[in-house]
Every structure is written in structure tokens, then in C-alpha cells.
Amino acid sequence: MIRVHHLNISRSQRVLWLLEEIGLDYEVVRHWRDRRTMRAPKALRDLHPLGKLPLVEVDGRVLAETGLIIEYFIARNAPHLAPAPEAGDDHWRYRYWMHHAEGSLMPQLLLKLIATKMGLLALPIRGMVNEQVKLHLDFVEKEAGRSQWLAGDQFSAADIMMSFPLEVAAQRAGMGDDYPHCQRLLKAMQTRPAYQRAWARGDGADKR
């Protein structure tokens, strides 16, 4: 049995979505953020030294990092969700977006979140942070207008990987109607049946 350790409002929602797209059976092990601080529970360090999720228990292994987890299941169960090298440009676009999500876009969004929470203390750097967030979102907007999905006209795991930063950008970083291609892409992600099933088993099941 695949066990997914899921933290509410976190990157782990993408793992649930991937498993739903593939059609694999899995168990959700729920963990909750502190309502006041929104931090993950320290008890997660008993599962992994960094105390971060997602974590997946599968085949006698404990896998961490969303990108690695996605690559593991793509290689084992779903090569159709990754354009092959023979696909040329689509393959390299896929590889690019798999890295861009956490390597480029999410750090800027996290800086914006931190600067906002710091209020007046962050005024000297807020303009720089906002400039970088806009730069990155403008780039995604242009690229999202090139094709139906980020790596071409076929849905891929790169779209799953990019879903979390796009949702964060829409909710907290001003990605509004002035980003029509990003909004179209995000809506296409969220209306997929597998996404909705994953939501129902993940954050959508938060009845606390």
C-alpha cells in the first residue's frame, strides 16, 4: 500500500493528484498545521529529519521532495505523463517546468509571503520582491499562451508540478484577470476529474 503523508495547505496535494491521475490505490495520513502559526507540527521530524511534507511510503522506502516523488511514480507507473526525448521541444519544456516550479517561482512567492507578514519591517525590500514576482508571472503567462498545457498540447506531470505555485500566486500574489493564460491553465488543472478527486481526499476533506 502507498501511504501519503499529507499536510493541509501544502505541496503534498500535488502527490494526491498525481496518484489519482495514474489510478493507484493509496492511503492518506493526515497532519495539520498549527492554526495560529500555520507551521507544520514538529512531530513530522520523527518521519524525516527536516520535518517537511510530502512524504510517501512505498516499496519499503520513504520518499521526500515533490519532484522526486513525481519522478518515481512516472518512471514506475506513468511514463505517458512525461513527454519522451523523442518528443523534442515538448520533452525539454517538460523538464524545464518540472524544475521551474520549486527552483524559480516558489522562492519568489515565499519571499512575498514573508515580506507581507513582516509589514513595515520589510518595506525596503518589498518593491524588489514584487518586481521579481511580476517578472516570473509575466514569463509564465507568456509561456502558458504557447500551447494548451505547459509542455505542449498534452497534459503532463509538469502541469501537476506547477499547480501549487500557480494556486499560491492566484490566492496571495495578485495573479488576477490580467494573467488570462495563467488563469485558463489553472482552471484547466482544477477541473480535471483526478484533481477534484484528490482535492476531496486532501484539503477538501478538512472538516475541522
Same domain, 101 and 42: no
pLDDT in tens, 94-127: 999 999 999 999 999 999 988 887 775 667 788 8
Whole-angstrom distance, CA of residue 80 vs CA of residue 77: 9
Q: pLDDT digit string (tens) for 34-91?
A: 777 667 778 788 888 888 889 999 999 999 999 999 999 999 999 999 999 998 999 9
Kindly state whether residues 68 and 128 are assigned to the same domain: no
Same domain for 108 and 155, yes or no, is yes
In terms of Cα–Cα distance, which of 135, 54, 38, 142 is closest to 93?
142
For residues 138-158, one letter each, b for 16 or more C-beta atoms within 10 angstroms of the residue's C-beta and e for the rest, the string is eebbebbeeeebbbbeebbbb
Q: Are residues 37 and 98 in the same domain?
A: no
- 89, 70: one domain: no
Number of domains in the chain: 2
* One domain for residues 92 and 144: yes
Same domain, 159 and 172: yes
Global pTM value? 0.92
Instruction: State whether 45 and 60 are in the same domain.
Output: yes
Q: Which three cell numbers stand for residue 128?
A: 524588489
